[in-house]
Amino acid sequence: MSSTPTRVTREQQQQRTRDALVLAARDVFARQGYHAAGLDLIAREAGFSKGAVYSNFEGKADLFLAVMDANLGAAGTQGWDVFERVGPCATADEVPADVEGAMRGFALATLEFIATAARDRELAGRLTQRVQVMVDLYADVTERSGAPEGALSRAEVAAVLAALDQGAALLALGGVAAVDQSVLRAAMQRLVDPSRAAGIEREGGTGGGLHDQEIARRIASSVSS
């Protein structure tokens, strides 16, 4: 006896269309940058007409923010532990070169978007909301650590973690390896829990990956699934 096919509701179909457009947009923005990316190409690669873009998004900026939301969602689905013990090559093994290239390309597109948003008050406000979500992910790290607050509150530590990690990533985009990743990781561990960090240093252990590395790993997993 054959089963009756499940009927797709209008809302489900619209969500599938949005998801396909977001995936295509992430690829196109990564390859061409924010300004050069065309909605025609994004729609075509998603398998739709340009009208589908405007049926689901206000325009290019709204679509770019949706891609940011998807990336942040992938990053926040699980906890990130700066103290987790990992092998030095684990991230490189888990993230294919093409995904790393796409992450770098989208990061460069994000710089273009930030420059655009800085000149648009409404767009700047929407970008700020996403930045706060990112900072909140770092706040989760400090909360889960259970370490007592010191001179800095947990919220302040989260803001400094975000500044360190994202600042180092920005320098790397410019080709400047100003801080070795192991040094940066050790500094972040000391900020989160100085006592625990000291114990790891005495044992000569290897700490967890950086937040950007974890985002890359999770996005690579979501793309391949």
Model pLDDT, residue 173: 83
In angstroms, how far is CA 21 from the centroid of its own chain?
Answer: 18
**95-149 pLDDT tens trace:** 566 777 888 899 999 999 999 999 999 999 999 999 998 888 888 888 877 777 7
* Distance (Å, whole) CA 123 – CA 112: 13
Phi, psi of 79 (to 5 degrees): -75, 150
Domains of the chain: 60-224 (1.10.357)
- pTM: predicted TM-score of the whole model, two decimal places: 0.80
- Residue 161 or residue 88, greater confidence: 161
Model pLDDT, residue 171: 85
**3-60 pLDDT tens trace:** 555 777 988 899 999 999 999 999 999 999 999 999 999 999 999 999 999 999 999 9
pLDDT beyond 90 at 169: no
In angstroms, how far is CA 140 from the centroid of its own chain?
Answer: 15
Model pLDDT, residue 57: 97
Model pLDDT, residue 4: 57
pLDDT beyond 50 at 194: yes
pLDDT beyond 70 at 182: yes
Q: Is 135 exposed, middle or buried (0-12, 13-18, 19+ CB in 10 A)?
A: middle
Model pLDDT, residue 60: 98
Q: How confident is the model at residue 88 (pLDDT cuts 50, 70, 90)?
A: very low
**Rg over CA atoms, the chain:** 20
